[in-house]
Amino acid sequence: DPTLRYRVLFSVTKAPASPDQVNPNLEKVARFVNLLGADGIRPLPGDVAVVIHGPATPLVMNDAAYAERMKTRTNPNLPLIAALQSAGVSVRVCSQALAGNKIDAASVEKTVEIDVSALTTMATLQLRGWALIPD
């Protein structure tokens, strides 16, 4: 509906089947943005947000840290994160999940925002009108 303001929050908690694969829930965010775009709907920057937490948390690590931790050559999620951000999607990670997964904040890709907690981000955005799409 082109008359609506689409404000949508995706909760991404699940890790992919293999660390050398792109997280399928990030792909779901891209599909959503592409489906809106196919109908000429362009959400405002930040109106589509992704909060990453739980077992999915490592996907926000920079290439070097991810490769060392996951035994891969690179982080396959970073190109999609960059494309989502170019489309105006806000990509965020829970600092509590970073601590729980023993990930140093310095190893987080510099374009990813670090929130105090996924729980407060999800509650705050929902109270402000964002629709939550869980994984």
Collapsed DSSP state (helix, strand, coil) of residue 11: strand
Label residue 79 by pLDDT band (50, 70, 90). very high
- Pairwise CA distance, residues 94 & 43, whole Å: 23
Reported pTM:
0.95
- Pairwise CA distance, residues 70 & 15, whole Å: 12
- The average pLDDT across 74-84 equals 98
In the chain, the percentage of residues whose pLDDT exceeds 90 is 100
For 34, the token pair is 């592409």
Label residue 75 by pLDDT band (50, 70, 90). very high
Q: What's the pLDDT tens digit per position in 28-69?
A: 999 999 999 999 999 999 999 999 999 999 999 999 999 999
Phi-psi sector, 93: left (phi>0), alpha (psi -120 to 50), beta: beta
Residue tagged 């396959």 (tokens): 76
pLDDT at 66: 98
Q: How distant, in Å, are the alpha carbons of 2, 28, 35, 44 from that of 57?
A: 33, 17, 26, 26
